Structure 1
Amino acid sequence: MEGSFPNRAAAGAALADALSGYARRRDAVVLGLVRGGMPVAATVAARLGIALDALVIRKLGVPWAPEVAFGALGPGGIVVRNDDVAGRLERDDIDAVLSRETAELVRREARYRGGRPALTLRDRVAVLVDDGLATGASARAAVAVARALEAARVVLAVPVGSTRALRALEPLVDELVCPLRPPVFGAVSEFYDDFHQVTDAEVAEALDSADVRPPGTV
């Protein structure tokens, strides 16, 4: 369709052009939101010549309505809570979701990091990259985690996004980059010819083949 990308790599190329001001910055790191954001982020990092890493985010969904988040988990044991929702839940329900999602986050971190040290963002420019922005729930959690990890500057970069989500997230970041902002937005997949489900193996391969790593993660 008109205004779409052939695949995530092509979307990453377009995004890299929009992020050219960060080229070769040693204090910057591109963080792919796993899993869909990783192929986009890998292209961005390669074209800009800056560090690449993965940001594992697990949404904490209400047990009987998983699409409603009461918070999110990030690396390093960071928990971001939405008190308006969490305050309505029983402690046992919260603990059960936390336990399940923590186990999955640990599994993914171990799979993707391959023995490398934990992610650190202190005093760094964190460029958060996903393949698109629909509701913005994952991106909102990623921004909160980046702030909690003490990033000096948080940049949210997506190839395509809904107007509503972009408006909601813009006040939360230092910079928001989104080349394609269609007036009518249904789903991220509508703006890609190839929108296959990204696998754990693809994420690990992208990280293994990256030319540049953040300090301490070689």
Structure 2
Amino acid sequence: MEDRSVFTPSNGTFKINNLIRTDGAEYILHIFDSKGRESEQRTLQLSIQAPVSSVRLDSECLSQGEMRVSCSSEGADSPQYSWTLDGHTLTDAQLLSGNNETNNITLKQNVSGRLVCSVMNHISNVSKEEKISTCGFIFINCTLPDGTNISQWVFSANNTLSIDPTTTPTMITDTSVDNSLLVCGLRAAVVLSLLVGIAIYFAWKKKKYNKVETSSRPRIKDHPENSFAMVEL
């Protein structure tokens, strides 16, 4: 170290160039007076750490819809981990295993949002964010026709046990209203048909009456002496 270190007595500065890991140690400074007697002693613990260069998040879905997430860092010495979801520290209600200070956690089935893993040491702090969603599992709680009650997490795409209770219910049309509208429409059609029929009937009667009236007038022959009146009823 003599070739890489410099001590400046005027300001008490001790400088080490080209640090290596083995330079991390306990350093003791002895101060002597003009008579050669030690007047003071100071101790400094030097810790050498590499900064966090990058952070990586890996996630996988488990068999029952839980999600295992691992956070790894490169280049960091003595890394410390912390987790947040949508800006808030992860709670025990959201964690199935692990805690907020480990690099591997398992989230419960219904947890989703903006997950952030932060890695830090004494000289650096780097974070990694990932948008996570549920693994396609839903919780069903229903009773089958045979009386069997089912309460469990199932994969939504393959669910044949019961309908997802969170699904928006299908709107059921009131058939009584539809039937009443149909009856009213039929009645209106019948009344309209009757009115049209009556109108046609009276029009036909009037036409026939005019025809009879016209045909009842006397017809005069060209030769009056041979003419006679014909009445057609």
> If the TM-score is normalised by the length of the shorter chain, which range does it land in?
under 0.3
Q: TM-score, normalised by structure 2?
A: 0.20
Q: TM-score, normalised by structure 1?
A: 0.21
Instruction: Name whichever structure is richer in strand by fraction.
Output: 2
Instruction: Name whichever structure is richer in helix by fraction.
Output: 1
Higher-Rg structure is 2
Which is bigger in relative contact order (C-alpha 8 A, separation at least 6)? Answer: 1
